[in-house]
Amino acid sequence: MGLRQLRRKLQQQRIAARKRFRRQKNTNLRAAPGAHGFIIVLDSLKPAFNVGKIFRSADAFGACEVHLVGIEFFDPAPSMGSFKWVPARFHDHFASVHRELAARDYTLFALEPQNGQPIHTHPLPWRSAFIFGHEAYGLSFDPADYPAIQTLSIPQFGQVQSLNVSNAASVVMWEFLRQHRLLSSPPSCSAEPNGR
C-alpha cells in the first residue's frame, strides 16, 4: 500500500469514527448515572483508542459519569457500546470540571505514576473523582493551582514505571469497588452508602 492510499484509508477511518461518535453522543444524552459514586475525568487524552476503552471499564464498574476535558470527539468503537450507557460531560478546560465537582462535594484525585500515595493505602470517599492526564504530556493544568487535589499512584514493580491510561483507570475503578466492599446493591450515584 502506497503512502497516498494509506492516508486516504486513515482519513476514511477518521470520518467513520466521527460519524459513530455523533450518533452515539446523541444516545448518550439519555444515559443514566452508574451505580457507584465515583467519577472519571479524562484530561486531554488522545481521541483514538483509550477513551473508548475507559468508557467500557466505566460501564463495567458502574461509574457515575465520565467527564472529558479538551476532548471534542473520540472513536467510540473500542467502548463496545458503553458510550451509550455512561453519562459523558464535556468541558473545554479543567477549571470548569473542577468547579462543578467541587460544588458537588467530590474529592478529586490525580493519578501520578511516581509522586502519589499508593492507592490501596488511601481511603477513597464515595464521592471520588479520578483525573487521568494525557498519555504523553500528563495533566493539562498545574496541580499547584488546585491544592485540594490529592495525588495517587498505582504500585508497580517492573522496569517501566507507568501503565497504559486505560489499564490504570480500570485498576483505580476496581480499587474503589474493593474499598467499598463490592456493594451488590449499591446506593445511587449521589447517595452515600452507610454513612461513608
pLDDT score for 185: 61
Q: How far apart are CA 30 and CA 82, in angstroms?
A: 13
pLDDT score for 193: 63
Taking 90 as the threshold, does the pLDDT of residue 12 lie above it?
no
pLDDT score for 81: 81
pLDDT one-digit tens code per residue, 161-170: 789 999 999 9
Q: Is 128:107 a contact under the CB 8 Å cutoff?
A: yes
Q: Quote the pTM value.
A: 0.89
Cell of 155: 504500585
CB within 8 Å of 7: residues ≥ 6 apart: none
How far is the CA of 124 from the CAs of 41, 110, 120, 150, 185, in angstroms? 16, 13, 9, 11, 19
Q: How many residues does the chain have?
A: 196
What are the residue ranges of helices labelled H in the chain? 3-28, 49-61, 94-103, 165-179
Read off the DSSP letter of residue 89: E
Q: Is 128:39 a contact under the CB 8 Å cutoff?
A: yes
Q: Which domains does the chain have, with CATH numbers?
A: 3-190 (3.40.1280.10)
CB neighbourhood size of 165 (10 A): 21
Q: How far apart are CA 20 and CA 22, in angstroms?
A: 6
Taking 60 as the threshold, does the pLDDT of residue 194 lie above it?
no
Beta bridge mates, 143: none
pLDDT-derived band at 25, boundaries 50, 70, 90? confident
